[in-house]
A and B are shown apart, each in its own frame.
Chain A
């Protein structure tokens, strides 16, 4: 028996080691691909300013869709800030999804909304809109009010009233840079087959804002938020750019992303079947276009285009990461036929394998690995030297990937400009390996378990 246990323990540790090598190997490859893509983008941006009149003149009309639920504190400010976007032709559809804190009333009072009519251009499934509002003061602004039914439903409702070739989803608490739409629309001009574009999200915590605009970038005070700054740099500046360059981008953040209306309507809009409706939509777009052999592209813009607030308490972070991981699992399960399926090209053979194996099971493997590691050490099965060496390897690799991401940030956007902030980022790159990463792995593993148990999540 004890022999079996030891054998089991050794097998687990070997599996964890193999997972570690595979996952970080992929991250390393993606990092180097992102490096080249970012350098190319930086050079390209020096050729054409986003305000180049020929680009601006050609920019297609865009509708910004803003689902709102209990956002009374920020909805008005968000709407005002969006109205000031530097973009030639755009509309904004705000959707009050059954808020209970007076969000809709606040908007109506502030902007002078009146009951109005607006034509539906699609018939995506959603709870019926109770009223359409329009304001003579801001012809671009429309408000939809409806019963609470969740973010995907609210987005579908707005999409049914979208009358422009492109639309952009914006979270109610997201701050969009004034040039955000200009930058995000560019891939649609460079490539007619482009159907979706994501942009970099940055962290707004403790930044100085004024009337919905970013005035000064500041490093967050909260340690938890600081860890997330580094995570977002890694995830967006490296991860998304790299995956997009490899034509394997499966996620465009629901906080800010631009889509071709026709493609999304044809795909059926946002799904109610996944709490990660943003990822699920992109995966579905991939599947549909590959199945029907329609040329298409899903792209990513490295420029910081939007800022969002991140959790500063462990409980809120737990809820967010658990939810994200469940969204990942649901999106992959809904389209499981793509897994290792050559019919879906590099999406099936590359992206789905990575996300379906390494990202999906990774947190559980990681948590089990920590436990097995400890047990093995306690049983004397693991030599101290080996344990320390492996730990150093894991920490070294983690820090390496973070530092590569920081180097890319430093060579391009450098939004944290002071020496002190750079020092803090370097410290965070080291410290996150001593507890934060493990905690997030645990949170994601909890999401896996919750998904297995079928626990429902909310808006």
Chain B
């Protein structure tokens, strides 16, 4: 029977195809195995080479960072074909430094930055973003124009990395440019964007406050600016936040909630009335933030907080009792905890944690 099959040209063809494909696959598999071994060998060799180079550079770098050596010491040790290798090494070193040691390392790194500059035009966005990061850490102000251009990169990863880099410079023009790009980064988390923009720099903070006051600023931009101000701990932001809330121009949850969170951190009793208006908001998230902010700001908030502790939303109730705890209103909390009211479990939780 099998021979009969084989004499049939269709089966013969099928056999030939199967054999052929099988041989190709087997050869490919063998080739892959060989490639694996080659990759491992190459990686090991690169690691050994890097270790050798690192050990020659390390002493010079430490001396430079400590102010006991000159940049030239490192320049003499790094061969021209090793610039691309020394850069990641210096970058990892620099990430742990601040102030003067970082500046000294930056001076030493200048001749090696050319690969990073070239990478700014690489076709891969991750490579471009890596170059931005390198120039941010090791390049400093000297590469500001390149970093500024990267802010307009079509890839969000590159633009956001550039925004992170530029936010370190105290330049109102830069801060304004970064803030305008926020509208393009629609998928990124608000808190993360706020974290990028958060800054101790006075001019940067002024720009963020101006966003809150700008009637044309889109809601998301306001939300990000408010988050950035809160994370920056800007004590002068309460005026702008209050004005933005009073303007009544926001319908969206996000900017209102973030402005309330900002006031909770930076506001004072004079802002409590502004916050009070949101205690009855139909939106749970707004009510929750308003409750917490009111609890922090108002001079006598206990009755409102006790009422909020019975809110059908657990988040509102939780924030209410947390605000009571923050005010050390133990008597009110204990009464609530002992009662049959809906807020009792919340009070019990907070008291339990506090007791611990």
CB–CB A44/B126 < 8 A: yes
> Which chain B residues lie closer than 8 Å to A163 at the CB level?
318
Of A47, A48, A134, which one neighbours B352 at CB under 8 angstroms?
A: A134
Chain B residues 229 to 255 lying within 8 A of chain A, measured CB to CB, are: 231
Cα distance, A47 to B95, chains bound together (Å): 12
Chain A residues 15 to 64 lying within 8 A of chain B, measured CB to CB, are: 40, 43-44, 46-49, 54-55, 57-58, 60
Does A375 belong to the interface (CB within 8 Å)?
no
Of B18, B129, B187, which one neighbours A390 at CB under 8 angstroms?
A: B18
Does A217 belong to the interface (CB within 8 Å)?
no
Q: Chain B, 1-39, contact with A by CB distance < 8 Å: what is the 0/1 string? A: 111011000010011001101110110110011011101
Pick out which of these stretches binds chain A: B60-68, B100-108, B293-301, B341-349: B341-349
Please name the residue on chain A nearest to B167 by beta carbon.
A54
Does B130 belong to the interface (CB within 8 Å)?
yes
CB–CB A119/B195 < 8 A: no
Does A357 belong to the interface (CB within 8 Å)?
no
Does A107 belong to the interface (CB within 8 Å)?
no
Does B189 belong to the interface (CB within 8 Å)?
yes
Does B124 belong to the interface (CB within 8 Å)?
yes
CB–CB B6/A383 < 8 A: yes
CB–CB A135/B352 < 8 A: no
Cα distance, A191 to B188, chains bound together (Å): 5
Please name the residue on chain B nearest to A121 by beta carbon.
B314
Please name the residue on chain B nearest to A137 by beta carbon.
B356
CB–CB B22/A389 < 8 A: yes
Chain B residues 161 to 203 lying within 8 A of chain A, measured CB to CB, are: 161, 164, 187-192, 194-196, 198
Cα distance, A390 to B23, chains bound together (Å): 11
CB–CB B192/A54 < 8 A: yes
Cα distance, A388 to B311, chains bound together (Å): 73
CB–CB B352/A58 < 8 A: no
Q: Chain A, 159-202, contact with B by CB distance < 8 Å: what is the 0/1 string? A: 00001000000000000000000000000111111000000000
Of A43, A58, A116, A381, which one neighbours B1 at CB under 8 angstroms?
A: A381
CB–CB A403/B29 < 8 A: yes
Cα distance, A411 to B36, chains bound together (Å): 9
Does A334 belong to the interface (CB within 8 Å)?
no
CB–CB B40/A422 < 8 A: yes
CB–CB A385/B22 < 8 A: no
Does A358 belong to the interface (CB within 8 Å)?
no
CB–CB B191/A58 < 8 A: yes
Is the contact region of chain A dominated by helix, strand, or loop, or is it mixed? helix
CB–CB B349/A396 < 8 A: no
CB–CB A117/B349 < 8 A: yes
Chain A residues 403 to 444 lying within 8 A of chain B, measured CB to CB, are: 403-404, 406-407, 410-411, 414, 419, 422, 426, 429
CB–CB A58/B194 < 8 A: yes
CB–CB A389/B19 < 8 A: yes
CB–CB B356/A139 < 8 A: yes
CB–CB B187/A191 < 8 A: yes
CB–CB A58/B22 < 8 A: no
CB–CB B15/A383 < 8 A: yes
Cα distance, A188 to B19, chains bound together (Å): 49
Of B22, B36, B133, B194, which one neighbours A47 at CB under 8 angstroms?
A: B133
> Which chain A residues lie closer than 8 Å to B318 at the CB level?
119, 163
Q: Chain A, 362-405, contact with B by CB distance < 8 Å: what is the 0/1 string? A: 00000000000000000011111110011011001101100110
Does A313 belong to the interface (CB within 8 Å)?
no
Does B157 belong to the interface (CB within 8 Å)?
yes
Please name the residue on chain B nearest to A391 by beta carbon.
B22
Q: How far is the CB of B279 from chain A (nearest CB, A)?
A: 20
Cα distance, A163 to B355, chains bound together (Å): 20
> Which chain A residues lie closer than 8 Å to B93 at the CB level?
none
Does B306 belong to the interface (CB within 8 Å)?
no
Q: How far is the CB of B64 from chain A (nearest CB, A)?
A: 23
CB–CB A47/B157 < 8 A: yes
Which 10 interchain pairs have the tightest Cβ spacing? A136-B356, A396-B25, A43-B126, A117-B348, A383-B2, A58-B192, A403-B32, A393-B22, A58-B195, A392-B22
Given contacts A139-B356, A403-B32, 10 further A-B contacts (CB under 8 A): A44-B157, A47-B130, A54-B192, A57-B198, A117-B348, A117-B349, A189-B191, A192-B190, A383-B3, A407-B39
Question: Which B residues fall within an 8 A CB radius of A?
Answer: 1-3, 5-6, 11, 14-15, 18-19, 21-23, 25-26, 28-29, 32-33, 35-37, 39-40, 43, 88, 95, 124, 126-127, 129-130, 133, 157, 161, 164, 187-192, 194-196, 198, 231, 314-315, 317-318, 345-346, 348-349, 352-353, 355-356
